Chains A and B, each alone.
Chain A
Amino acid sequence: MAETQSNGHGYVGTRTIRPDGVDKVTGRARFGADFNLPGQLIGRVLRSPHPHARIVAIDTSKAEALPGVKAVITRDDFADQPSEFIPAGEMMMNYKDVVRNVMAREKALYEGHAVAAVAATSAAIAKRALKLIDVTYEVLPHVIDVVEAMRPDAPVLHDDLFTAGVEPKPDKPSNIAKRVEIVLGDIEAGFAKADVVVEREFKTAPVHQGYIEPHAALATVSEDGSAELWCCTQGHFIVRAHCARLLGLDIARIRVTASEIGGGFGGKTVVYLEPLALALSRKAKRPVKMVMSREEVFKASGPTSGATVRVKMGATRDGKFVAGFAELKYQAGAFQGSPVQPGVMCAYAPYDMENVKVIGYDVVSNRPKVAAYRAPGAPISEFAVESVVDEIAKKLGLDPIELRMMNAAREGTKAAYGPKFGPIGLEETLNSIKKTEHWNTPLRKWQGRGVASGFWFNIGGETCVSLTVNEDGTVSLMAGTPDIGGLRASLAMIAADELSVEYDKVRPIIGDTGSLGFNFLTGGSRSAFSGSMAVVEAAKQIKADCCARACKLWDLKPEQVAWERDRVRPIGDVADKAKPMSIADFAKVAGKTGGPIVGYGRLNAQGAGPSLGTHLVDLEVDPETGRVTILRYTVAQDAGRAIHPAYVEGQFQGGAVQGIGWALNEEYVYGADGKLQNAGFLDYRMPVASDVPMIDAILVEVANPKHPYGVRGVGETPIVPPLGAIANAMENATGIRFTELPMSPPKVLKALKEQGVTAK
């Protein structure tokens, strides 16, 4: 069979209406908490009031005796798991820790750590039952701050945790789970060549992903051990794997359906309620529904690391970066597994440098275990580096965009973390920013302008989709990665173009775990990238199948038939022999030409090209109160190829605003008692509509050669540059280099006062 590239209708690159849109504007779409089953019980979790305590005993007898209580579970309901590290997206995980995070075993390791759970016939009874569970705690000293947790005399969370990655192996346990390092070239030789060296220490606060939908799960387990689960997750196949492991069930026995998901940003890549709901249902033999409160979301899920970062960079007089050193200390929360590794790898990734050394420490403390958050680890290390880059520009009297341009990583640059880059778009984003009217608009007193770039790898991974040509020529598309921000639209556009059917005739859904082969989760900006590759693969099968059917119908040889442009055609000297057939034509004759027409795209997607971006921000500081107003914001980012430009812009805009929150106001505030003081949207201050301006989005398209349409992941990079861009703008406005996030008004006002920068 011969094949040529199809051009279809050209939906890719247009702004179609998303297929799931009507359901979402009418309230019909069903999110995690919107599922119910007849006879369901309500599950609630008892959580530790202490940041660090040994659990001496748990007496559930009174709760069990309360009428209406159908099941109570504790650590005794979960088998222990051996220590074993498993890749989980950009991070690693260990089931020994996962089982302890979903339900505390020996110790409660943070305020809010699950200690027991109940299922009862009503929420009110479940709540009363929690109060009847008697937990005997031996309260232990706690440690919250990452630097304090690293001290030799700090309270140790895990007495079997010995720092990995150091020689000789330590003989004493500590809170430093591991040390990682990357080295390129010779850092000392690099600094020796430097005319200017800038060294700074930075501190960032932990921030929560802040999805508006709290975690929710509905589970039902039958007497034969078959289980069904509905939950809001970024990866229902991953949930299935984790739950099978934690509950000792066969994977085939668990069917997980991903609900519509109300935001995740990395925070819904792990399990919290799901194994508890299953365990409760297994015990009660009735469906169990569990939904977190907002307070529980803050205290027991997410966030990403707070960190301390030291950066030292050297440059020559003319602006060439000759050496970059960084030391990153990232909070992991109660269990090891902070995103320090990607933080280390990304720190200097935007730049073409010969000498780089980055060291990272993964540190546990009495906080909730961190979860992935949009480009996990990268915003923190790149904030520090981008701040120092800006300072170097100032010291050398160079334009910050020119300085970045001079050092920008480009095709062929060897990254400090290993690979040689293919085509990447940093220079293009810098150029686009430089050309904006925004960059060239004058500012007033107390206003400042900042620029920063950012890098994120993106990933591919295991992906499986199906395409079914229905009897009427419409196409059903099933994907297995939850659609968190427009995936179904993108995949339907690709399918429509590949098969030359109308976009409206492709109906995409997210299939459950029983309907497709394994799909890795939606994360690492992989779902549109990998999913579209799988759709192309599935469409290719369908086109090949249709060609084969045409051979039979037309009595032609395989080489006499091809899919050209929009349909199967006889080619060459038989071109007039038969009437070309579209997908819809084959649908009509599917039965007599071999049965259903189905394509099944399955692959472990490789070649996810990094996406780089540059952000530009104007802000104004109120010198009397320290309040910062974001005046104007422009994002330029390389999308490779934007399948649906509006949703790509949406990623840029949303990431920028999350970054604004991170830079200015969001933080976890702990009291001396180790308890979180701002576990709600009132005092965990995410940006509201009136806090931000319009976010101008510039789509840069440097095609990714490893993808059939040139696509790159775009979702994560947008949160990387804002922290540095805003800090740089603050310096521009006030002359003060802010090194601690968030740059909240009390901190800003204090700095202004200390530096003698006043309004009068």
Chain B
Amino acid sequence: MAKHHVEATVNGDAVEFLCETEETLLDVLRDTLHLTGSKEGCASGDCGACSVTLDGRLVCSCLVLGCEVGGRRIETIEGLAEGEALHPLQKKFLEHAALQCGICTPGFLVASRALLERNSNPTDTEIRYWLAGNLCRCTGYDKIVSAVKDAAATLRKG
């Protein structure tokens, strides 16, 4: 059958695309819309490298079909920076050396933003459990937790 024609909003921009039923939102973002910041680490929802928000809700884009997102609002890592300035999370990840190889970083940033939108002052434990679906094999998570806390403090100060 013919491909699905889907209209949605990605990082504030209206987009339209065609996709097969079995194509995931991650496939669409990467291969059709050329937004390769979201990464495929497992395609099974176990690593979080493809994290995006869908109408503000944090999801793995590998577990969403492209044809499901008609009319919905998608935010990816490419939309995190605000105009010319980096988001405080991005700045703090850099300052704290919270990345080594960087493949998991987009997912961690998108997931961390979703956390800070709900909880402006999370504890270490809250950060760690919220981010448990984002695997990082390089850092041991230490500096990521520090960066998120520091970014939260910056955001609280406004």
* Chain B binds chain A: yes
CB contact between B137 and one of A21, A658, A697 (< 8 Å): that residue: A658
Q: How many residues of B contact A (CB 8 A)?
A: 59
A22 an interface residue at 8 Å Cβ cutoff?
yes
B101–A485 CB distance below 8 A: yes
Q: Of residues 600 to 653 in A, which have CB atoms within 8 Å of B's CB atoms? A: 644, 646-647, 649-651, 653
B158 an interface residue at 8 Å Cβ cutoff?
no
B109–A213 CB distance below 8 A: no
CB distance from A547 to the nearest CB of B (A): 36
B90 an interface residue at 8 Å Cβ cutoff?
yes
B78–A27 CB distance below 8 A: yes
Query: Chain B residues with Cβ under 8 A from A62's Cβ?
Result: none
A20 to B105, CA, bound (A): 13
Query: Chain A residues with Cβ under 8 A from B109's Cβ?
Result: 25
A586 to B131, CA, bound (A): 50
A27–B36 CB distance below 8 A: yes
B102–A681 CB distance below 8 A: no
B77 an interface residue at 8 Å Cβ cutoff?
yes
CB distance from A549 to the nearest CB of B (A): 37
CB distance from B53 to the nearest CB of A (A): 14
B90–A211 CB distance below 8 A: no
A28 an interface residue at 8 Å Cβ cutoff?
yes
Of listed A15, A210, A653, residue having the most chain B CB within 10 A: A653
| Interface 0/1 of A174-210, CB less than 8 Å to B | 0000000000000000000000000000000000011
A656 an interface residue at 8 Å Cβ cutoff?
yes
CB distance from B77 to the nearest CB of A (A): 4
Query: Chain A residues with Cβ under 8 A from B22's Cβ?
Result: 124
B132–A210 CB distance below 8 A: no
A261 to B102, CA, bound (A): 8
Q: Of residues 472 to 507 in A, which have CB atoms within 8 Å of B's CB atoms? A: 484-486
CB distance from A541 to the nearest CB of B (A): 31
Chain A: CB-nearest residue to B97: A646
Of listed B38, B81, B86, B100, residue having the most chain A CB within 10 A: B100
A212 an interface residue at 8 Å Cβ cutoff?
yes
A34 to B146, CA, bound (A): 29
With A25-B90, A653-B142, A657-B141 in contact, is A263–B35 under 8 Å at CB? no
Chain A: CB-nearest residue to B98: A650
Q: How many residues of A contact B (CB 8 A)?
A: 60
A67 to B143, CA, bound (A): 51
B142–A695 CB distance below 8 A: yes
B145–A212 CB distance below 8 A: no
Query: Chain A residues with Cβ under 8 A from B63's Cβ?
Result: none
A692–B141 CB distance below 8 A: yes
Chain B: CB-nearest residue to A29: B102
With A26-B78, A686-B135, A694-B124 in contact, is A681–B43 under 8 Å at CB? no
Query: Chain A residues with Cβ under 8 A from B94's Cβ?
Result: 17-18, 21-22, 25
B152 an interface residue at 8 Å Cβ cutoff?
no
A211 to B42, CA, bound (A): 11
CB contact between B44 and one of A25, A656, A657, A681 (< 8 Å): that residue: A681
CB distance from A423 to the nearest CB of B (A): 27
A294–B42 CB distance below 8 A: yes
B58 an interface residue at 8 Å Cβ cutoff?
no
Q: Of residues 70 to 95 in B, which have CB atoms within 8 Å of A's CB atoms? A: 76-78, 80-81, 86, 89-90, 93-95
CB contact between A694 and one of B36, B89, B142 (< 8 Å): that residue: B142
B140 an interface residue at 8 Å Cβ cutoff?
yes
A24 to B80, CA, bound (A): 12
CB contact between A647 and one of B100, B105, B135 (< 8 Å): that residue: B100
Query: Chain B residues with Cβ under 8 A from A214's Cβ?
Result: 40-41
CB contact between B103 and one of A213, A293, A294, A688 (< 8 Å): that residue: A213
A86 an interface residue at 8 Å Cβ cutoff?
no
Query: Chain A residues with Cβ under 8 A from B47's Cβ?
Result: 212, 294, 681
CB distance from A553 to the nearest CB of B (A): 41
CB distance from B36 to the nearest CB of A (A): 4
A31–B39 CB distance below 8 A: yes
B119 an interface residue at 8 Å Cβ cutoff?
no
A691 to B89, CA, bound (A): 23
Query: Chain B residues with Cβ under 8 A from A658's Cβ?
Result: 137, 140
CB distance from A297 to the nearest CB of B (A): 9
A542 an interface residue at 8 Å Cβ cutoff?
no
B135–A212 CB distance below 8 A: yes
B139–A653 CB distance below 8 A: yes
B122 an interface residue at 8 Å Cβ cutoff?
no
Chain B: CB-nearest residue to A210: B137
Query: Chain A residues with Cβ under 8 A from B99's Cβ?
Result: 21, 24-25
CB distance from B156 to the nearest CB of A (A): 21
CB distance from A459 to the nearest CB of B (A): 20
A680 an interface residue at 8 Å Cβ cutoff?
yes
B144 an interface residue at 8 Å Cβ cutoff?
yes
Chain B: CB-nearest residue to A27: B37
CB distance from B11 to the nearest CB of A (A): 10
CB distance from A41 to the nearest CB of B (A): 14
A654 to B144, CA, bound (A): 11
CB contact between B35 and one of A27, A293, A656 (< 8 Å): that residue: A27
A265 an interface residue at 8 Å Cβ cutoff?
yes
B97–A689 CB distance below 8 A: no
| Interface 0/1 of B16-41, CB less than 8 Å to A | 00001010000000100001111111
A682 an interface residue at 8 Å Cβ cutoff?
yes
Query: Chain A residues with Cβ under 8 A from B134's Cβ?
Result: 689
CB distance from B114 to the nearest CB of A (A): 15
A261 to B39, CA, bound (A): 12
B49–A212 CB distance below 8 A: yes
With A26-B90, A33-B40, A690-B128 in contact, is A265–B102 under 8 Å at CB? no
A667 an interface residue at 8 Å Cβ cutoff?
no
B104 an interface residue at 8 Å Cβ cutoff?
yes
Chain A: CB-nearest residue to B148: A689
With A25-B109, A647-B97 in contact, is A212–B104 under 8 Å at CB? yes
A30 to B101, CA, bound (A): 11
Query: Chain A residues with Cβ under 8 A from B15's Cβ?
Result: none
Query: Chain B residues with Cβ under 8 A from A649's Cβ?
Result: 97, 142-143
B136 an interface residue at 8 Å Cβ cutoff?
yes
Query: Chain A residues with Cβ under 8 A from B90's Cβ?
Result: 22, 25-26
A55 to B93, CA, bound (A): 51
Query: Chain A residues with Cβ under 8 A from B86's Cβ?
Result: 22, 25-26
Q: Of residues 105 to 141 in B, which have CB atoms within 8 Å of A's CB atoms? A: 105-106, 109, 124-125, 127-129, 131-141
A362 an interface residue at 8 Å Cβ cutoff?
no
A612 to B144, CA, bound (A): 26
A260 an interface residue at 8 Å Cβ cutoff?
yes
A262 an interface residue at 8 Å Cβ cutoff?
yes
CB contact between B36 and one of A34, A646, A690 (< 8 Å): that residue: A34
With A212-B137, A694-B124 in contact, is A15–B103 under 8 Å at CB? no
A262–B37 CB distance below 8 A: no
CB distance from B150 to the nearest CB of A (A): 13
Chain B: CB-nearest residue to A681: B46
A263 to B144, CA, bound (A): 16
CB contact between A681 and one of B36, B42, B140 (< 8 Å): that residue: B42
CB distance from B108 to the nearest CB of A (A): 9
B140–A654 CB distance below 8 A: yes
User: Which residues of B pack against A, CB within 8 Å?
Assistant: 20, 22, 30, 35-44, 46-47, 49, 76-78, 80-81, 86, 89-90, 93-97, 99-106, 109, 124-125, 127-129, 131-146
The 23 sampled A-B contact pairs (Cβ below 8 Å) are A17-B95, A18-B97, A21-B93, A25-B80, A25-B99, A25-B105, A26-B78, A30-B36, A209-B137, A211-B137, A262-B101, A262-B104, A263-B138, A646-B96, A646-B143, A649-B142, A658-B137, A680-B42, A681-B46, A681-B135, A682-B44, A694-B124, A694-B145
Given contacts A27-B106, A213-B39, A689-B134, 4 further A-B contacts (CB under 8 A): A26-B37, A261-B101, A681-B41, A690-B128
Closest 3 CB pairs of A and B: A27-B37, A262-B103, A24-B102
